[in-house]
Amino acid sequence: MGSVVLYGPPGVGKTSIARAIGNMLSKEFRPLHATRASVKDIRKIADEAQMYPILVFIDEVHRLSATQADDLLAICEDGVVDFIGATTQNPYHALPKALISRSTILKLEPLSIEDMQKVVGRGLAHIRSSGTEVTITPEQIRTIAGRSGGDARSALTTLESLTVGHTDAVTITDAQLEEIYRSAPGQSRSLRRPTLRCNIELHQGAARKRLRCLAILAGPTHSCR
């Protein structure tokens, strides 16, 4: 697979996409965070990859130090591991040029309201499967979806806040929803695009090919056709 950088706002599924790819490729998934991973951690993974296939995922990859980035480049160039990095920053400005030139860049846009409704629906199914019956109207589900700003994590956090502490049953009210959004105004961001789109920038030496694909949150994982 080589190296891939997922670039987009919070909550669009960068980590989920990376995990899905790891499962698809039958590789051991090793998540790291740029601010907590040491050079020693990266080198240890490189050593282990000599024995079995590994997909290393680095969140906030734009925060890697120069030494960390150099070690990552070395193992990517050697083909020791497959690498996926995630960032909320424009990689063309935030990442080393050497890493950009060796990576496929995927730009992810916020999820649509329709996709967000599916996310909320799955969140409700998960809560109900644990024994808590949730009563919520379709309008309230759409409100949560619309006011999350395309951020699946934000929508699920809202749902969790509405149901936490209830073990048997809970009925969601409009007043509860408004209270949640008054205490967390940053959640009511507007949607910018109706779908989750990927702009793929593929660099092969001096050649540069642009591809486009459509990724829809389908089933338990993201798909990119």
Q: Which of 83-92, 119-128, 211-220 shows the lowest mean pLDDT across its residues?
A: 211-220
Q: What would the pLDDT profile of 106-141 be if each residue is shown by its tens digit?
A: 998 888 889 899 999 999 999 998 888 999 999 999
Of 30-39, 44-53, 122-131, 204-213, which gets the smallest average pLDDT? 204-213
Which regions of the chain does DSSP assign to beta strands (E)?
A: 3-7, 28-33, 54-59, 82-87, 103-108, 133-135, 169-171, 196-204, 207-218, 221-224
Q: What count of Cα atoms within 13 Å lies in the side-chain half-sphere of residue 101?
A: 8
Average pLDDT of span 87-99: 90
Which tokens go with 157? Answer: 């956090």
Residue 173 bridge partners (DSSP): none
List, for residues 165-185, the tens digit of each pLDDT value. 777 888 999 898 888 888 765
Task: Report whether pLDDT(205) > 60.
Answer: no
What pLDDT score does 194 carry? 31
Predicted pLDDT of residue 72: 86
Measure Cα distances from 46 to 59, 66, 161 in Å.
18, 18, 40
What is residue 184's predicted lDDT score, i.e. its pLDDT?
A: 63
For residue 57, the model assigns a pLDDT of: 93
Q: What residue ranges define each of the domains in the chain, with the CATH number in brackets? A: 3-109+195-224 (3.40.50.300), 113-187 (1.10.8)
Confidence of residue 216 (pLDDT cuts 50, 70, 90): very low
Percent of the chain at pLDDT above 90?
A: 21
Helices 152-163 & 174-183 angle (0-180, nearest 10) = 120
The whole-number pLDDT of residue 223 equals 34
Average pLDDT over residues 21-41: 88
Which run of H or of E encompasses 41?
helix 39-48
Residue 209's pLDDT is: 30
Residue 214 pLDDT: 27
Which of these ranges, 76-80, 91-95, 111-115, has the smallest mean pLDDT?
76-80
